[in-house]
């Protein structure tokens, strides 16, 4: 499956800004694979970046400036098929139900286990883009 990696010249993932070492942790997964990490500070910035650049996946933090679900709802208005992963420190039935209604690909508990995130990214990219770029 290594040949699959060569088919795409550029993958872009847009993630929420966080007040911890989140972007640095993501770069440790992305940089060796040549995946570009873009960081948004607000829901409006998410939409602006998506308008300007092809984004393959978003990773939205529930604890970001605006509720993560609200950010995904705003993204869904114009980009209903864009895959989204949601990070949440308190995952309850109500939040999972809302995430399901918004067609969130995956909800991951915080603090984020980077192996779980990588596994979810691998599943998403194989399913959606036929790429094993996140295979371990």
CATH fold of 29-108+117-136: Rossmann fold (3.40.50)
Where the chain has pLDDT below 50, the residues are 1-8
| The pLDDT value given to residue 2 | 35
Q: Are 136 and 69 a contacting pair, CB within 8 Å?
A: no
Distance CA 58, CA 83 (A): 6
Q: What is the pTM (predicted TM-score) of this model? A: 0.89
């Amino acid at each position: 499956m290594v040949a699959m990696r060569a088919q795409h010249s550029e993958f872009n993932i847009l993630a929420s800004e966080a007040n911890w070492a989140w972007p640095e942790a993501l770069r440790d997964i992305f940089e060796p694979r040549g995946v570009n990490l873009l960081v948004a500070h607000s829901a409006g910035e998410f939409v602006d970046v998506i308008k300007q650049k092809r984004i393959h996946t978003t990773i939205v933090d529930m604890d970001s400036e605006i509720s993560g679900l609200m950010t995904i709802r705003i993204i869904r208005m114009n980009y209903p098929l864009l895959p989204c992963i949601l990070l949440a420190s308190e995952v309850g039935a109500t939040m999972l139900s809302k995430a399901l209604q918004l067609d969130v690909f995956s909800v991951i508990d915080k603090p984020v286990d980077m192996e779980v995130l990588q596994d979810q990214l691998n599943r998403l990219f194989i399913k959606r883009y036929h790429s094993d770029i996140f295979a371990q």
